[in-house]
Chains A and B, each alone.
Chain A
């Protein structure tokens, strides 16, 4: 009985009916947090002693880069759920997360390049973290491309799952090798275990924005998942009733 909360997720219909409400909550919450965090960070937080105003791109770059990595982990969890419990919804989530993850990775690369120009003097360096982000983007592209090559969604989902799991095992090795190869990027300013290396007037808006972007990502993924569920279940009776009734 204790597993009920988990097995509910096996029903696409159950998910579809509730996801709309979750999406609405996420959407408003993200909007409020992002407006607050961005206005505070861009308008009112103090300037940095070395980088001046250009450091403010941190309020976009850091949350987006966090998400790029977190979404890959989320995708891997979905792959495990897909293989162990054969849950269709996990595959739908994998598909939606791959697209969102690629978008966030691309955004973090672009915002990083814009930041790199004034601080490092170049848009792109073959630095460890930049390179591993680029490779992460390629891994996401692989998951998207592999899915597109199959006609049968179940088969596509399983193939993607294998790819993602192999990628997850390999990611730490890639990260380690690339770091050994070249490092220029500064260490992370925000760590869960340590005191942040910036004053509260700078990191509070950053934290708000990180939270905001996480919730915004949830909003995007939920929306995309809802659409995918409808498409995959288009032959199910409840979907027909839903479409005809509307």
Chain B
């Protein structure tokens, strides 16, 4: 079995050992979504108007929540150090880890958005656009919050810092996603914006693993 396949299997086994890690962010999203009508007004017209944006923000927060400690356990049990000795470039292994994380932890978050959409009476077309935007945008978000997690690995007081540091870099993603949702609401063409969003994700996926591997190297080198 190749190293990549073994990494994926290991991730799956870890999740099977602690399934709560997947469900907590999903639970979080649904809770945030159910707080919206309570805090605002149970007016379904209003909810439908802002619903898609709320779901987007809630999913973004949940994603940050479960990416915050992306490398923490691998760091403390020494797996990251083992990576340095493998005959693969570190950036490549980081890429595999990020893909695994996206598949097993982020994808479930996207899959529950239809439920959240029903709760906020978002129309089907907008919901479809929301779903596609999240699929296209989350790779970039996962990469950036992974970088935040890697940067703060060696610090004892990191807490939510990794997330805060990376938040400003999410701006283009959020703006473009909101543009797609607005266009979907009035039925105009969403493809050009989705293309830009996709471009951002592709660039993030090619370049960020290199930065993440530099961050991991410096944290492993400096902590002992």
Residues of A within 8 A of B (CB): 131, 135, 138-139, 141-142, 145-146, 149-152, 154-155, 158-159, 162-163, 165-167, 169-170, 173-174, 176-178, 180-181
Contact = CB atoms under 8 A, between A and B. Distances in A.
Contacts of A155: 154, 218-219, 222-223
Nearest to A141: B164
A151 B175 contact: no
A159 B215 contact: yes
Which 10 pairs show the lowest CB-CB distances between chains A and B? Answer: A155-B222, A177-B172, A142-B165, A149-B155, A138-B168, A158-B218, A135-B168, A177-B175, A150-B155, A181-B175
Interface size class of B (residues with CB under 8 A): 20 to 34
Contacts of A166: 147, 169, 208, 211
B152 A146 contact: yes
A131 B175 CA distance: 12
Nearest to A160: B151
A130 B176 CA distance: 18
A54 B222 CA distance: 53
B73 interface: no
Interface string B166-190: 1111011001100100000000000
Contacts of A141: 164
Contact of B176 (A142, A152, A167, A177): A177
14 contacts: A131-B171, A142-B166, A145-B164, A146-B152, A150-B155, A154-B222, A155-B223, A158-B214, A158-B218, A162-B147, A162-B211, A173-B200, A174-B172, A177-B175
B157 interface: yes
Contact of A167 (B169, B175, B207): B169
Question: A138, A169, A170 — which one has the most chain B CB atoms within 10 A of its CB?
Answer: A170
